[in-house]
């Protein structure tokens, strides 16, 4: 009888040990799975830093008054077309003149979007080598560039304007500026990244502009 009880206790202990071991493995796998999206997000954010080479607005060496300014307005409230967060950074022109400031590609890449959006006006979208989408909006006009074209960092994409917030051709609803959006796609889901710190990082990396490009 004692031997049966002893064997039963050993069996229970062995079963408990197996359950604990299985639970630990499942917990470890669960933690690993939960970390995967964050690891992918972190890797894609790192890809942005690897791809960016130039500030999107050149430096006017012949006229130092033609400067730009920007602040950290990411996710600030916007109301046109419904309340939403501001998915980008607005780079404002010191001289409020559309078509004056050239806009250059911050990265190498491929043109994937071009044309009018009600909120973004005339916009162009570039996908960088690491799959990051750079969105340049409210343009006044485009360079000689089409969807499918390859671009190099520093190539002109168009000129800063004030287009948008209405049907195609609408201008003058706000001051001249460039809206810059940056998007990554962890797990295939579009995710906005704050461009402000990236712009600060490359603020001194500007293409030199001696006359209107």
Which residue ranges make up each domain of the chain?
A: 50-209
Spatial distance between the Cα atoms of 116 and 123, rounded to a whole number of angstroms = 6
Q: Give the pLDDT of residue 1.
A: 52
**Least reliable range by pLDDT among 33-47, 58-72, 103-117:** 33-47
pTM of the model: 0.80
User: 50-209 in CATH: which number?
Assistant: 2.70.70.10
Residue 106, classed as helix, strand or coil, is coil
**Least reliable range by pLDDT among 4-18, 75-89, 199-213:** 4-18
Question: Of residues 126 and 41, which shows the higher confidence score?
Answer: 126
Q: CA nearest 121: which of 136, 132, 109? A: 136
The dihedral built from the CA positions of residue 87, 198, 154 and 205, taken in this order, carries a sign that is: positive
The DSSP symbol for 161 reads: B
What confidence tens digit (pLDDT) does each residue in 98-139 have? 999 999 999 999 999 999 999 999 999 999 999 999 999 999
* Tokens 């940056």 found at: 182
Question: Of residues 30 and 79, which shows the higher confidence score?
Answer: 79
Spatial distance between the Cα atoms of 158 and 56, rounded to a whole number of angstroms = 11
């Amino acid at each position: 009888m004692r031997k049966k009880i002893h064997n039963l206790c050993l069996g229970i202990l062995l079963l408990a040990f197996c359950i604990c071991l299985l639970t630990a493995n499942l917990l470890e796998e669960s933690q690993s799975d939960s970390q995967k999206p964050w690891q992918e997000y972190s890797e894609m954010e790192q890809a942005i830093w690897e791809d960016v080479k130039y500030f999107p607005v050149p430096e006017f060496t012949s006229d130092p008054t033609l400067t730009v300014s920007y602040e950290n307005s990411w996710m600030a409230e916007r109301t046109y077309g419904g309340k939403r967060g501001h998915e980008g950074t607005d780079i404002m022109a010191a001289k409020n003149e559309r078509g004056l400031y050239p806009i250059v590609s911050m990265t190498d890449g491929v043109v994937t979007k071009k044309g009018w959006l009600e909120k973004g006006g005339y916009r162009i979208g570039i996908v960088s080598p690491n799959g990051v989408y750079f969105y340049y909006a409210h343009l006044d006009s485009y360079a000689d560039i089409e969807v499918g074209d390859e671009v190099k960092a520093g190539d002109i994409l168009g000129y800063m304007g004030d287009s948008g917030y209405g049907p195609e051709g609408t201008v003058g609803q706000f001051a001249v500026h460039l809206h810059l959006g940056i998007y990554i796609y962890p797990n295939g889901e579009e995710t906005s990244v704050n461009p402000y710190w990236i712009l600060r990082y490359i603020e001194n990396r500007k293409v030199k502009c001696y006359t209107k490009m």
